[in-house]
Structures are given as structure tokens and as C-alpha cells.
A and B are shown apart, each in its own frame.
Chain A
Amino acid sequence: MNFTRRAVLMTSAAIAANVLRPELTFGQATPRKGGVFTVHFGAEQRQLNPSLQASTGVYIIGGKIQEALVDLDANGQPVGVLAESWEAAPDGKTITFKLRQGVTWHDGKPFTSADVAYTAMNMWKKILNYGTTLQLFLTAVDTPDAHTAVFRYERPMPLNLLLRALPDLGYISAKHLYEDKGDIRQNPLNLAPVGTGPFKFVQYERGQYIIADRNPNYWRPNAPYLDRIVWRVVTDRAAAAAQMEAGQIHYSPFSGLTISDLARLSKDPRFIVSTKGNEGNARTNTIEFNFRRKELADIRVRRAIAHALNIPFFIENFLGEFAKRGTGPIPSVSTDFYPADNGPQYPYDKALAVKLLDEAGFKAGAGGTRFSLRLLPAPWGEDISLFATFIQQSLSDVGIKIDIVRNDGGGFLKQVYDDHAFDLASGWHQYRNDPAVSTTVWYRSGQPRGAPWTNQWDWTDPKIDKIIDDAATEVDPVKRKALYGEFVRGVNTELPIWTPIEQIFVTTINAKARNHSNTPRWGSSSWHDLWLAE
């Protein structure tokens, strides 16, 4: 390639402008081919195939190698990837996808509707977490020709729900590499994925790195720009921040650095620290109440606990600009479902909290203590740990003694969702673009014991159950949104779980990266248009 003096000067000027005011030149310069993009990979998974495991830890790698039927565009609307168009029958029981032609797997075999049918019936419906629930009523996928897949459902499937769920739960695997190859879960390709995506898997050194190279036969013209992506396994958050500063890592996704490093690097012109590109991965901090405790079964006590916590103070002093006051189980970034009225909000009011506790009949005993509760904070992030301490101190002011019991991931899930050995639990509720995917299971009764992130509170409300069931099969988008509004107001009134803080994951990325953070689930997306400036 030849660079003229003028071009070089202009590029340097553009970069200088970018460093100073990145938003000015966002996506304007001509993309540069080549370069190695390095990514912080904090927690190694047992799985890299996104058709089998739905989690950001898998998408951050598998999402560049394998592709889904649809993704979300810059405005959060479904856009075709392996599917070109779709259509639902009026009764909502049949949904037809027209598939993209001329797409090949990394091994050269053509991608067809048989792959879609095989993946849907054997992976999404049987193995994929959240997929098993989403596709519970999927009876068959017909393949009238190689580029048409017809999904048949026993009960109506809202097209909107499916299209908002499929960016995460709609990754396709190759039938010829999985069929008759033994147990799908044990297929060695799960750790060496083969897909249709812009990058081809090269190597995985456990504990060190994963490498994927540019797919020269990718179906999008002139894409991708990068030559290679390297994911570096760095478990220590402070060390990851140091490697970003040393230039060894370009991108740390999903709030992978400590809160203090995020604040520090956000002032450094070499980096962009932002929630942009993570709107599809909103989460709320939760307080889960165990109704098996008679104190907590009393709604006045649950409301008193909510009133006793000064959430704006906590956010301002501990979480900073990347968090805000939550209003309910559906976060405000969900443009499709966020209700105009969220119901009761429980502002900080210590006197009211004391009054409610007195009314409930839990008088302060010796030393001012009314009763003690065990609080189990989830180990997912330092914000939860800080919040647990904040709850402990705030509640001791109103006479509730809190014992914090800390566990690692497996221990937390076992104790809360299986042994029910908690009074209060605090963790994250992950919202996945539609409340039916991973939100309503927190409230719907009849969840089998041991299923994590489901209603294990011993709380049943037939009215809420009915709204949840109706909304799951309601094909009219307007009516669905109204039902979910009713759901949010209902659960905010009954308060089986409180969702006081809303957060979006924070991206830290080197300012040399271009075309990044341009969709609501960018960290999980395929990065076909990502490029690195000199």
C-alpha cells in the first residue's frame, strides 16, 4: 500500500482529533485493513459454542466465529444476519425465516435450512439455557427448501419476543459437524467452534489465550477489517487495567475492570470508557426476600427495608456515573417494554421505615435490635459486595441486624436457589431485551427447586402468574407491552424482589478502535466492521 504524505498527515490529524474528542470523528475515517485486536477475557468458560450456552462469556468469543439468525441494529431493532426476512402467521403458531444464500461454514460446506432445523431442535430446545424455556412449545422446524426454515409452535409465539430473543438465543451450529458425533455437550468443537462468522477459530491455550483469524470467505463484502483477534485470559482486574495501559489489551468488555480503574481510565484520553454498546445487557441489582421468614412475609417489613436504604446516596458515593436508580424489573433502556408508570417506588424515608416495622409488631428488643437476617451477596461483582455492606449498615439504623454470608458462585446458587438457606439475597437480574426471556421466571410461581435465577422465594401471586402467562403468548405487541406494564406495577406493589439500582455494563476500549459500540449488544456481536486506526 502506498501512503501519500498528504494522506498520512490527514490521518494523523484525524487521530489527534479522535484522541481529544472521539465522538467527533466516530466512524468517519476510511477503514484500515489489518491489525490484531486484543480482548480482555476475565473468566474462562467450559464452552465456546453460543448455540449451547447463552452468556456474555461465550458471546465475547463464539459470537465472532458463529452467527445468529438475527442481531440488533444501532437502534435496537432486529436486523437479519443468517436470516434475510421473516414472517409470522396471524395465529402466531408458524414463523417462517428466509435464509441468506451463498453463506459457507468455515470448513467450506454450505449453510442451509437443515443447520437451522438441527440447531433449533437439538440445541436451543434441549440444551441452551433460556433457549429451553423460549422454545418449550416449538414442535418442529420444517425445511421446504434449503433456504427456508418454518418454525412450528404448539402455542402462539409473539414474533417480537422471538426476534428480540434470537440475537442471544439464535446462534446456528453446523449440522454435519454435530449430527451422529456422539453427545453434543462433549463435542470437541465446542472448544474449537466452526461457524459462518467473520473470524475463524485458530487456537485455544487454556489459561492463556484464544486466537481467531480473518475469514477470507466471509459473506459480507470487504469484511472483516481485522486480521486477527486475540483474547487474553487475565483473571486479575487490576492486572487487566495495567495491561490496557501497557497496550497489551485493547478492549475490556462488560465492566471487566474495577470501579476505581474505570473512573481513572475514563479521564485518560487513550481510552474510551462508556456504557454505549451495552444497552442490550442491562441489569438491575436485586434484593430477594425469603418468604419462609415470617418477618419477611409481612409486606410492611419488605417495604420498610426498601424505605430504609438511601439508594441515591449509595449510587453517588460507590457506583458513580455508570449506575442509576432502578424503577422495576424492566430497565429504562428497554424502549419496547419500559412502562410509563412503574408503580410504587419506595423513596428513602427512615422514619417511615421505623413506623412500618413498629406497625408490623417487630419491636426493638435489647440493644435496639428487632430481629436478625442472613444476607447472601452474590459474588458477581464488587458493586454487590459494596451494596451488601451498605444494606447491613443502613438496616442496623432501623433495628434490623444483618449477618453477611459470602460464597463463591456455585455456593451462592446452591444456598439461595436450592437449599433456600437465606433471608435476604442480593445479586443481579440480567434483562435480555424481552421480559419473557429471563425476567418473568423470577416472579412466576411453580419453578422447580434448584433452578437458578427463578422464583425460589416461596411467594405465589395468582394475579401475577396470569399476567405472565398471558403476556408470553400475546401476539399483539401493544397488548403485550400493556400487560408487562401491569406486571411491573404488580410486583413493585407486592415487592417479592426489589430492584433498586439499574446498571449497564461498562466498556473500556483503546481510542484507536473504530466502529465499536455501535449496536446495543456490541460486545457480543460479530465485529465484522471493527477496525484499528494506526
Chain B
Amino acid sequence: MRILSLAGRRLAASIPTLFLILIGVFLLLQFAPGDTVDAMMAQMGGGDAATAKELRRFYGLDLSVAAQLVNYLWRLVRFDLGFSAIYGKPVVTVIVERLPATLLLMTSALSFAFFMGLVLGVIAARRVNQWPDTLISTLGLIFYAMPSFWFGLMAIVVFSIYLQWLPAGGFEDITLVHSGLSRTLDIARHLLLPSLTLGLIFLAIYLRIMRASMLEVLNLDFVRTARSKGLDETSVVVRHVLRNALLPMVTLIGLQAGTMLGGSVVVESVFSLPGLGRLAYESVVQRDLNTLLGIVFVSALLVIAVNFIVDLAYARLDPRITSGA
């Protein structure tokens, strides 16, 4: 139960942070020249001043910045995220439409990065300074250094254009009607390349953390004890070392869940996926304040949720955390 109260306290502490972030984003966007009506005019390719004035009144932009902010926060307290200027529907609906693609992409990329990083990190640590270690570390560095848009485009060129194995973009095939299992498989086919592209960059980080953490734990006294008990190397690694070495990895997941939400703009654009990252980008360009703040709000909630789960995972991996030592 201690862990729950710990996590609960964390949760309570994150609420003021959330409000500060929202106010910060609101003010930051005020510094950007132009508002959503200017952005709309840019898209339309013209419009007269009278129309612009009328639109500003319509979107509530004729009020002072302070009044707009107070209005927004007051609506937020009542769990009303407002109306999206670009989509012409409630922000909640807009975000809920985009969440499945984002969550699918994020979970598949994160799990790929986590498990591959774990396996490769363990191998590299076991064969430290031998050729598998060098190979894995070099590959990790290459993946990390490669810009994701380039890697994504190269993947499309190879797998979609030359080999024609996988679709070049989109969330599902719309020229054919799929249902049930075949739809699931179709979406999986569409998500394979984007997940790998996004995952490979994070893979490098997990791999290096896992390797370092394994090397550190391998030198600790209890490992020597385990070995002197006569345990074979596999049970030493799996039962004693891995569990302890996993803690920094779990911390990293909590940190990167947030990065991945925002960092997938590029991958979403290259693979034409309808995710939150692209929505956020579009909201900035279109100066759609309500949508942008809504995304910040929902992303913050997601990050808080992931960190809550991470806290629980800590307790499971290392009982000392719950005992409050």
C-alpha cells in the first residue's frame, strides 16, 4: 500500500506542474506572430479585412490575452477543452480520434526498443570488449546518429518501392474494405516500418544503458556470492543481475514516453500517420490554441499515467523501494 500512497503523492504534485505548463504554452504561443485567423487567411490565399475582424470575434480573439487565459483555465477546471478552430469540432473529439494511432505507434516502438535494447545490452555486456560488443555498440551508435526522417524514407525506398513488401504510408488500406482480423493485420503491416524507424533511435539508448548497468551490477558482491554458491552463469545473469540492472531501464521508459509522444512528428509525417505529434505541429502552424493546449494536457496525463505504472514496476523489481528504507 505504501507504493500507492507514494504514487498518489506524486500524482497530486503533478497537478500544479500541469497548470504551469499549460499557462507557459499559452503565453509562448502569444509571442508567435499572427493568430489563427492569419493562419486561415494564409490557407485561403486571401480575404478582406472586414472578414478577418468578424472571424476574430468569432474565435474570441478580440478579447485581451489575460481574459482569454482566464476563460481557458476556467473551462479546463470544468474539464472542457474547448472547440478546435481548424477542425470545427470539440478538441476532445479531435484528440480521441488521433489517440489510437499514437498509442499504437508509441507502444510498439517502445516495446521494440525496450526488448531489443535489453537483449542486445545483455549480449554486449556478457561479451564486453569482444567482437559482439563492438558490433552491437557500433550499430547502436549508427541508429542513434541517423535522422529519423532519413531512415524512414530509406526504409520506404527499400521495402515499399523496390521490394514492394510493405505499404509506403497511411494507417490502413482505404481502397479495400477490411474487417476483423484482416483489418488488424493490415494496420500491423502499415505500422511495421514506422515502429521500427521510431524504435531504432530509442533502441540505441536502451542498449547502452542496459550494457552499462549490467557491467556495473556484474561487479557487485552479491554476484560473486551467487557465483561462489556454484550457480551457472545463465541463472546468475537472469535471476540476479538482470533484475537489478533493469531499474534504470524502467526509469528510462517513464522519461521517454513523453519524448516519444512529441518526438514522433517526423515519423508520423514521413509515414502519413494520423497521430498526436502531427496534430500538435499543425495546431502550432495554424495557431489553434485550444487544440494545442488540449494535446499538452492529454500528453501530460499520459506521461503521468506511464510514470505511475513505472512506480509500480519499481516496487515489483526492487521490494526495498516499498519498504521505505
Contacts and interface: CB of A to CB of B under 8 A. Distances in A.
Contact of A46 (B50, B88, B152): B88
Contacts of B48: 129, 132-133, 448, 451
B146 interface: no
Interface stretch (A20-28, A109-117, A412-420): A412-420
Contact of A452 (B32, B41, B50): B41
B45 A409 contact: no
A127 B51 contact: yes
B43 interface: yes
Contacts of A455: none
B43 A43 contact: yes
B47 A129 contact: yes
A412 B86 CA distance: 19
B43 A57 contact: yes
Contacts of A418: 38
Given A127-B51, A230-B175, A235 B168 contact: no
Contact of B272 (A36, A191, A206, A239): A239
A410 B36 contact: yes
Nearest to A209: B174
Contacts of A410: 32-36, 38-39, 41-42, 285-287
B43 A206 contact: no
A229 to B, nearest CB: 11
A36 B174 CA distance: 10
Interface residues of B, number: 56
A186 interface: yes
A421 B135 CA distance: 55
Nearest to A419: B33
Given A46-B85, A57-B43, A238 B270 contact: yes
B33 A414 contact: yes
A206 B47 contact: no
B186 interface: no
Interface string B136-180: 000000000000010011001100110010011111001100000
A38 interface: yes
A438 B174 contact: no
A245 B44 contact: no
Contacts of B38: 409-411, 413-414, 418, 452
Contacts of B282: 44
Interface in B40-69: 40-52, 58
A222 interface: no
A43 B34 CA distance: 19
Contacts of B49: 447-451
A14 interface: no
Nearest to B275: A207
A453 interface: yes
Interface in B248-283: 269-272, 274-275, 278-279, 282
Contact of A129 (B44, B88, B168): B44
A211 B174 CA distance: 9
B161 A245 contact: yes
Given A233-B272, A438-B46, A413 B168 contact: no
Contacts of A207: 97-98, 274-275, 278-279
Contact of A238 (B34, B153, B287): B153
Contact of B44 (A53, A190, A235, A448): A53
Which of the four size classes fits the interface of chain A? 35 or more
Contacts of A191: 88
A55 B45 contact: yes
Contacts of B160: 242, 246
A46 B174 CA distance: 22
Contact of A208 (B36, B43, B44, B170): B170
Contacts of A411: 32-34, 38
A176 to B, nearest CB: 21
Contact of A206 (B32, B97, B161, B175): B97
Contacts of A188: 88
Interface string B67-97: 0000000000000000001111000001001
Interface in A55-88: 55-57
Contact of B167 (A43, A129, A235, A246): A246
A133 B48 CA distance: 8
A205 interface: yes
Contacts of B40: 46
A239 B169 contact: yes
A470 interface: no
B301 to A, nearest CB: 21
Given A191-B88, A209-B174, A239 B156 contact: yes
Contacts of A447: 49
Interface string A181-218: 00001101011000000000000011111010000000
B161 A451 contact: no
Nearest to A133: B48
Nearest to A183: B58
Nearest to B45: A55
Contacts of A18: none
Contacts of A239: 152-153, 156, 168-169, 269-272
Contacts of A46: 40, 43, 85-88
A350 interface: no
A245 B49 CA distance: 43
Contacts of B270: 236, 238-239
B161 to A, nearest CB: 5
A430 interface: yes
A415 B39 CA distance: 12
B162 to A, nearest CB: 9
Contacts of A413: 34, 38, 41-42
Given A38-B175, A234-B169, A414-B35, A246 B164 contact: yes
Please indicate which of the listed interface residues A230, A418, A447 has the most CB atoms of chain B within 10 Å of its own CB: A418
B46 A130 contact: yes
Nearest to B281: A235
Contact of B274 (A185, A206, A430): A206
A238 B44 CA distance: 24
A150 B217 CA distance: 88
Contacts of B153: 238-239, 242
B174 A242 contact: no
B281 to A, nearest CB: 8
B42 A409 contact: yes
A341 interface: no
A485 B169 CA distance: 49
A52 to B, nearest CB: 9
A137 to B, nearest CB: 15
Please indicate which of the listed interface residues B39, B161, B174 has the most CB atoms of chain A within 10 Å of its own CB: B174
Contact of A132 (B34, B51, B156): B51
A407 interface: yes
A102 B95 CA distance: 43
A235 B46 contact: no
A288 to B, nearest CB: 15
Contacts of A248: 167-170
A108 B48 CA distance: 35
Given A46-B43, A242-B153, 18 more contacts: A44-B86, A46-B40, A54-B45, A54-B46, A127-B51, A129-B41, A211-B174, A236-B269, A242-B160, A246-B156, A246-B167, A411-B32, A412-B42, A414-B38, A415-B34, A418-B38, A451-B47, A453-B45
Q: Which A-B residue pairs are the 10 nearest by beta carbons? A: A409-B42, A410-B34, A207-B274, A410-B39, A414-B34, A448-B49, A410-B38, A246-B168, A411-B33, A236-B269
26 contacts: A46-B87, A53-B44, A54-B45, A127-B51, A129-B47, A186-B88, A188-B88, A206-B87, A207-B278, A208-B272, A233-B272, A235-B278, A236-B272, A242-B160, A245-B168, A246-B168, A409-B38, A409-B42, A410-B38, A413-B34, A414-B35, A414-B38, A415-B33, A448-B48, A451-B47, A452-B47
